[in-house]
Amino acid sequence: MSYLSGNYSFLVDKGRARPTNDDSATACVNAYGNVLLIVADGMGGANKGCYASSTLVKAIREEFLGLEKELTTGKQIMNWLNKIIVKTNNTIYEKSRKDVSYQGMGTTLSLCLIVKDILVTAQVGDSRIYLLRDNKLTQISVDQTYAQYLIDNKKISKEEALTHKDRHMLTNAIGVKKNCPIDLHEYVYFGEKILLCSDGLYNNVLLSVIESILRGNDSLDRKCSQLITFGNANGGSDNMAVVIWESNR
């Protein structure tokens, strides 16, 4: 879809190995011209993961589109995001606590909110946020996994983490605990192309291939489709969610 400020596209796919889809994604522009991008990867099996990720995405999207006053500073944006995410974390957590069939569910969150030249990111779990800077793909989110913890503490290298037996073990997720730490950051936005994706994509498609597709001249819808197609061609071992934003700057 197109707006004066830029273009976006998002796509979710079940993949080839999982019986259900637990990933959710959205992208939208509100009345103030602010941009919201979200990917959430649910966990818990059956309809649990789907409930967690879709509840989170829907809640943030609705609050964003219903804003009665524009957020104009990074501090305002981060305070607003923290409030909404904490509230939704509690909603999901209470659902799992009161309904036995939903116990153990949770979801990751990778989010970008752009207001003019301000980019604020929110990160929980191991979905990812990338910027295409000078035609080079750069990850700006930090995985919240046990493998990343080992890297940070110099126990293993980044190369070793790629095959570590606990590389998929999350150290943080929305809805799993009453209190969920949220990694919030503010950046100056220079109009870079932005990609958000779940681990189902980056685990099945080489980053060099993702970068090449993003650098191409195809439409964003086509790029999303190409990424999913490559993921499925390489096994489709997990659900995949992709969001791409391209500024008109």
Domains in the chain, ordered, with CATH? Answer: 2-139+172-247 (3.60.40.10)
Q: What percent of the chain has pLDDT over 70?
A: 96
pLDDT at residue number 148: 77
Whether 124 and 108 have beta carbons less than 8 Å apart is answered as yes
Residue 2 has pLDDT above 60, yes or no: no
Give me the chain's average pLDDT, please: 93
Of residues 152 and 218, the one with the higher pLDDT is 218
pLDDT at residue number 24: 98
Residue 127 has pLDDT above 50, yes or no: yes
pLDDT digits (tens, 9 = 90+) for 54-104: 999 999 999 999 999 999 999 999 999 999 999 999 999 999 999 988 998
pLDDT at residue number 159: 73
Write down the pTM of the prediction.
0.94
Residue 105 has pLDDT above 60, yes or no: yes
Give CA–CA dist 240/221, Å, rounded. 15
Residue 123 has pLDDT above 90, yes or no: yes
Q: Model confidence at 25, in pLDDT bands (50, 70, 90)?
A: very high
Residue 46 has pLDDT above 60, yes or no: no
Q: Model confidence at 1, in pLDDT bands (50, 70, 90)?
A: very low
